[in-house]
Each structure stands twice: as structure tokens, then as C-alpha cells.
């Protein structure tokens, strides 16, 4: 999984302009993020048509605010530069819930 720490906001916009991207907002202190993080490689493998990008909410707080991401872990799906779905709240998320979210995104 790529990390937003490896690119700036403009590069993120350029990267997400084409194709399917899943922004995964998390933070080091977040217990619910640590709960799901070990499952992320399996989710990425299952949904190989999506490029997953980890966004540390604390390092990119302005971006999180701009995108109305106030709870973590959260997921924002972007296809060809446009948001097509979000799973954003402060609740713990399971692998099954994340898969159901992705399965219900537009093709």
C-alpha cells in the first residue's frame, strides 16, 4: 500500500485522476486502525483493481478536514478523480464490512 507521506497533495490529485483509488485514513494512536491494519494486505489482494493509499490523518489533518473525514479508520473511494463512495465514521470496521463497502461501489 502506498502512503500519502510518499507524495504531496498535488501528486495525490494527479495519481487519483485516472483509475480506482481507495484512500485509507488512519493514525498511529488509533486502536480501531490497528485492529483492521493486519487485514489490509488481504483486502488489497482481493481488490487488486483498486490502488490503496494510506493517509495518516494526523499528518494530513487539513486534507481530512477538506474531505470531511473526522472519524478513523475511514475509506474514501475515488474513480477517475471523482469520489464514488465513502465508509467514513469513528466505528471499528471489520474486513467483512470493508469488503461489503467495496462490493457496493459503482463498477
As annotated, the active-site residues are: 30, 33
Q: Give the DSSP H/E element, type plus range, for residue 33.
A: helix 31-36
Grid cell, residue 40, equals: 489490509
Q: Is 59 exposed, middle or buried (0-12, 13-18, 19+ CB in 10 A)?
A: middle
Amino acid at each position: 500500500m502506498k502512503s500519502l507521506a510518499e507524495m504531496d497533495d498535488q501528486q495525490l490529485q494527479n495519481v487519483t485522476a485516472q483509475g480506482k483509488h481507495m484512500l485509507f485514513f488512519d493514525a498511529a494512536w488509533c486502536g480501531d486502525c490497528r485492529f483492521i491494519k493486519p487485514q489490509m494486505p488481504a483486502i488489497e489482494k482481493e481488490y487488486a483493481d483498486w490502488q490503496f493509499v494510506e493517509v495518516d490523518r494526523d499528518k494530513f489533518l487539513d486534507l481530512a478536514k477538506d474531505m470531511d473525514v473526522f472519524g478513523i479508520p475511514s475509506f474514501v473511494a475515488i474513480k477517475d478523480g471523482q469520489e464514488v463512495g465513502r465508509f467514513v465514521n469513528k466505528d471499528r470496521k471489520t474486513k467483512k464490512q470493508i469488503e461489503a463497502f467495496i462490493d457496493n461501489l459503482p463498477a
